[in-house]
Amino acid sequence: MCGLTGLVCASEYDAEQARPAVASAMRCQRHRGPDESGTWVGGQAVFGFNRLSIIDVEHSHQPLLWGPPGAEGRYALLFNGEIYNYLELRAELIERYGARFTTDGDSEVIVAAYHYLGPSVVGRLRGMFAFLIWDNERRVVFGARDPFGIKPLFYAVGPRGAVFSSEKKSVLALANTIGIAPRMDRRALQHYLTLQYVPEPATLHDQVHRLESGNSFTLVPGGQPVTERYFAATFRPRTVNGDVEAKRLYHEIAEVMRDSVAKHMRADVTVGSFLSGGIDSTAIAALAKDHNPDLITFTTGFERAGYSEVDVAAESAAAIGVKHVIRTVSADEMMEALPLIVWYLDDPVADPALVPLWFIAREAREHVKVVLSGEGSDELFGGYTIYREPLSLAAFEKVPGALRKAMGKVSTKIPEGVRGKDLLRRGALTLEERYYGNARIFRDDQLRSVLRSFDPRVSHQDVTAGPYRESAGWDPVTRMQHVDLFTWLRGDILVKADKVTMANSLELRVPFLDPEVFRVASQIPLEQKITKETTKYALRQALREIVPAHVLNRRKLGFPVPIRHWLREEMHDWVLHIVRESQTDEYIDKPAVLRMVEEHRAGTLDHSRRIWALIVFMLWHGIFVEQRIRPVVPEPRYPVRL
């Protein structure tokens, strides 16, 4: 787990001159790899790397040079992530091709596999990754990002070259070097305020992009990246008739999870696990303990009833038999930490859960260097409560289209906050119109009141059209899962997981987001995912012998944050200060925001998520555009090395 920066220049002369700029741009992502750093220049490529040593600690330095016999040093590699099947792939390359290796790590396996297998290597990698390979013979760069988007890869292209990096801050630092001047992207801002994140491949800077999950690319110096999508998350539910076939399915789920956790435990350093009160993280921790009897688990919570799972998590830890660490977070700590966290994020993400996650990651780094977590289970196995919405709206599907539209118009006449208004509004819409992922912050009618540059041509369907097109003919729940894989999961869940853990020089691994786990999960039929009583039915049945009984059918809270209450009380004056000081009048109607803050305080309406999205943006703007807010970025802390 590391931070990479690669610059591909227009000429070899430019490359040699650019080495100091790349070295400087690496400093703002030192938290991603505090153990060692280095730069390399070859041909038209300048590669820089910050390493967090996890596998083959004493070797596998990067940038890594490799080549077959007679062409040593032909390739240079930058690689952020972990390949969990590298031992098996390494053995195959030795047996089939006589490949030679000088290290015991996974990095060398990637570049060797690329040499022998070509671009198809990406389909053989079981792990999380973003990497660049410079071929000094062909003078071309090949790169890729993992199937689900666990690891980030930002890039920008200008007249003097192209830059790629794990952090957008490093890309911005090299913007002048490649001859570009990125500005705020209004379209991306509108999407952010709708979705609570900036959807791929965009960022809030108009000339900086992200390589999309499951994509690879080639780039010839002076040209544009030519991308290819190598992974398509296709669901193919199978028929499950009777108890025998159902038990076979549950067994397959349990076994693939055992295998995935076993491979995710591969490391030469200490591995721990996050633990909430839900089934996902509890299963991961229970399976991990089979490989590390001294496993340590970590959870976070708040001193407010209904917003903490620390008691349930502690009970689970005791049942599993692991050491457990709890970190309680206060409103004052949230307010103090948020500007620094926004700096780490690169782009705003209006998910309040990332703040407690930052604190527990910071605590975990005192004890371990790697943690496992349960992200991805809900998207793969059908775990979100909203996936049951098609059941509740089934009656609306029988209503003729014209009448449904009329019902929608009626809903607009009902005052905000009146019970049934949103059900009527959503029932009048088709699935494509109403569902655009788990987060719904501002509706268009709400957004018009606060966004000065509201563009009616910008729609959430710009983001969801592709996934819906690909899932045509599937059942509604599976289509919702498919949309979330390409929106919510990679735009929110995985961004916050990567950014806040790496901010603390901590590697986070997600065993549910494994190609083999997805292969099994994609075959689960609808009735084994969603029932009238529960979600993730098949997964719960598969884990009966693995997780303690008290969490088996418990609804997961995750890391819930009491911002609805805090924004009325402890955080009220803090929010007013942020809004009044912000220089975002070009984009945001601040008087309208202040009215929302007071309405929320009075209890007239619950604006908590919308207020949070706005203040996160205002802090982001103050840091990256106004440069008025300058968080004090601490030196990386890494008390645990092994």
Positions marked active-site: 2
521 alpha-carbon distance from chain centroid:
20
As given in the structure block, the two tokens for residue 167 are: 């952090």
Which runs of consecutive H residues, i.e. helices, occur in 265-369? 279-289, 310-320, 331-345, 354-364
Contact (Cβ atoms closer than 8 angstroms) between residue 577 and residue 311: no
Of 151, 118, 120, which is closest to residue 135 (Cα–Cα)?
118
Q: Could you tell me the strand order of the sheet in which 209-210 lies?
A: 36-42, 45-51, 2-9, 161-165, 154-158, 209-210
As given in the structure block, the two tokens for residue 360 are: 């527990």
Contact (Cβ atoms closer than 8 angstroms) between residue 134 and residue 45: yes
Dihedral of CA 537/541/547/549: which sign?
positive
| Dihedral pair phi/psi, residue 342, rounded to 5° | -60, -35
Contact (Cβ atoms closer than 8 angstroms) between residue 487 and residue 199: yes
CA-to-CA distance for 609 and 506, rounded, in angstroms? 28
Contact (Cβ atoms closer than 8 angstroms) between residue 431 and residue 479: yes
What is the torsion angle, in degrees rounded to the nearest 10, for the CA atoms of residue 529, residue 530, residue 536 and residue 538? -40
Q: Are strands 271-274 and 296-301 parallel, antiparallel or unpaired?
A: parallel
| Type of residue found at 77 | L
* 465-489: b (≥16 Cβ within 10 Å) or e: eebbeebeebbbbbbbbbbbbbbbb
373 known ligand binder: yes
What is the torsion angle, in degrees rounded to the nearest 10, for the CA atoms of residue 578, residue 581, residue 585 and residue 588? 10
Task: Please report, in angstroms and rounded to a whole number, the separation of the first and last CA atoms in the chain.
Answer: 14
CA-to-CA distance for 412 and 466, rounded, in angstroms? 29
For residue 562, whether the previous peptide bond is cis, meaning omega lies within 30 degrees of 0, is no
Q: Residue 133 pairs with which residues in a beta bridge?
A: 77, 142
Q: Residue 507 pairs with which residues in a beta bridge?
A: 370
CA-to-CA distance for 574 and 203, rounded, in angstroms? 27
| Type of residue found at 181 | A
374 known ligand binder: yes
305 alpha-carbon distance from chain centroid:
29
Binding site members for ATP: 373-374
